[in-house]
Amino acid sequence: MDINFDNLINLQKLDEEIKNISLNLEKIPSEIEEIDKKIEESARILSQTKEKLNHNQKKRRELEAEIQDFKEKTLKYKRQLNEVKTNKEYSFLLKEIEEAQKKFDELEEQIISEMLLADDIEEEIKVISQNTITTKEKFSQKKDTLYKKKGETEEEKKKLSQKKDELTLKIPAYQINLYKKIFRGKNGIALSPVRDEFCSICHMRIRPQMLNELRTENNIHLCENCGRILYLPKKNN
């Protein structure tokens, strides 16, 4: 039942490193997704603003067509003024002309305000376009960095896994099996160093007899409370 604690301790360290690296790797896709969303959002705002300008231009065309109608109507009424026979008809036409003129003025005001609005929107589009370009550049760089990090992390993980495989070969199967069983059941921590007579993970005091055995025997002792493999750390551990 001889046990080489150095190997098991190193195995535990490797497993922790692999766990941390895996957690980092898992985060990367969602970070990339976040960036894509921001790029999309920026493009969406630009297209919305362009849509606003289209709408403005369409409205202006409609207003201009409407104003043209009133122009023609007014001209028609004015021509008719020369041909009327009665005062009643005459004052009716004058009233119509006045109404048409009023409407004409209103429409012209609307066109002016739409034109001013168009200026604002065009300015807005200019700013947003520039922002979109900057955003895209910035986030593309961020994305590249993330992809690079992903590649490097995967490479690192591969190396650690190889190291783990090599180390595992040096450890007797029953020890590996026990280690794995505890590792799975105890949240990835299978070993616990004894410090000042306590299990350093669950802080249970170790019985003097077991402490003695740990000092003198080179075999497996499990913490009676948390079930982890106990060991006495060397000075530099």
Contacts with Zn ion by CB under 5 A lie at 199, 202, 204, 223, 225-226
Token pair listed for 3: 């046990």
CB 2 within 8 A of CB 219: yes
Q: List phi, psi (to 5°) of 45.
A: -60, -40
- Nearer Cβ to Zn ion (11/199): 199
Q: Where are the alpha helices (DSSP H) in 82-187?
A: 87-170, 173-185
Q: How far apart are CA 83 and CA 106, in angstroms?
A: 29
- Nearer Cβ to Zn ion (86/209): 209
- Nearer Cβ to Zn ion (32/226): 226
As measured in angstroms, the least distance from the Cβ of 2 to Zn ion is 23
As measured in angstroms, the least distance from the Cβ of 205 to Zn ion is 10
As measured in angstroms, the least distance from the Cβ of 19 to Zn ion is 20
As measured in angstroms, the least distance from the Cβ of 200 to Zn ion is 8
Instruction: Tokens 């403005």: give the residue.
Output: 56
Q: How far apart are CA 174 and CA 9, in angstroms?
A: 16
Token pair listed for 39: 């790029």
- Nearer Cβ to Zn ion (160/223): 223
